[in-house]
Amino acid sequence: MIIDENRFFRETTLRICGNLEINEALKECFLYVRDYIPADYMGFVIYLPDEHAYETIATASLDHSSRLPIKVPAPKSDLERMKTEFTDPRITISNYSNHSNKRTHIPDEMGWPSGSSIIIEMVLSGKRMGGLIIISKKKITYTREHASLLALLNEPLGIALTNSIRYRRVQQLKNQLVDDKQYLEDELLKLTETEVIGAADGLKNVMEAVHM
């Protein structure tokens, strides 16, 4: 199949960057991309170096999408690999035939379906931006052509993931502000319901002067 790479890039970018609800954007991206790269499951994952763990940002399949964060410890075999510096997007293919020899255990640890997988670790301005994992439950073979297509999406995928993380942080701060506001209102209410200490004793004259 001859693929118009410019159209593929444009259409995928419109879908993955067209919605701040990252799970919905990923679902639209998944439905489009799977016509070119076999996929039964797709997920955004970030690496948390301080915790030596992976965390899901969003997942999508034919019958669902989710942005429920799930953290799992990174396998020891991945720790040294994650320290390796790279300036271009890194793509790892693990086909069904060599499934037992795959270089990452994220799908198994996350409870995702097993099968062939292709992973792109995005890089923007020399910084890692997390990864996108595509899994096919069928006994298919991901090829260099699939990898080339996925590499085209490095920038829109990285931007979408970055925006999602920033948006999530803003929402967390917003929720924190709501909680803080409620706490302050409750404390002020308690103060207004509490009799001023000393109003009936040594400060009686002062209080009477205040109310005159």
DSSP state of 139: S
- Of 139-148, 182-191, 198-207, which range is least confident? 198-207
Asked whether 168 and 162 are in contact (CB, 8 A), the reply is no
pLDDT at 81 over 90: no
Name the least confident of 31-35, 66-70, 79-83, 156-160.
Answer: 79-83
23-27, 111-115, 132-136: lowest mean pLDDT where? Answer: 111-115
d(CA 13, CA 130): 17
The larger pLDDT score, comparing residue 194 to residue 67, is at: 67
Compute the CA torsion angle 67, 120, 61, 13 (nearest 10 deg): 80
Nearest to 154 by CA among 92, 104, 90: 90
User: Among 150, 9, 141, which Cα is nearest to 90's?
Assistant: 150
Whether the CB-CB separation of 74 and 51 falls below 8 Å is answered with no
Who has greater pLDDT, 185 or 155?
155
Question: By C-alpha distance, which of 197, 198, 92 is closest to 146?
Answer: 92
In whole angstroms, what is the distance from residue 155 CA to residue 125 CA? 10
pLDDT of 122 strictly over 80: yes
Closest CA to 27 of 64, 53, 80: 64
Strands 71-73 and 64-66, sheet pairing: unpaired
Q: Across residues 164-171, what is the average pLDDT?
A: 85
What angle separates helix 5-16 from helix 154-193, to the nearest 10 degrees? Answer: 10
Q: Report the alpha-carbon distance of residue 42 to residue 106 in Å, rounded.
A: 12
DSSP letters, 50-119, are: TTTEEEEEEEEETTEEE----EEEPPHHHHHHHH---SS-EEEEE-GGGGGG-S--HHHHHTPPPSEEEE
pLDDT tens digits for range 140-151: 899 999 999 999
- d(CA 87, CA 101) in angstroms, rounded, equals 25
Is the predicted pLDDT of residue 98 greater than 70, yes or no?
A: no
Residue given tokens 């993931």 in the structure block: 161
The predicted model gives 191-212 an average pLDDT of 57
pLDDT recorded at residue 193? 65
Residue 200 scores a pLDDT above 60 = no
* pTM greater than 0.85 (yes/no): no
Q: Copy the structure tokens of residue 128.
A: 């890692």
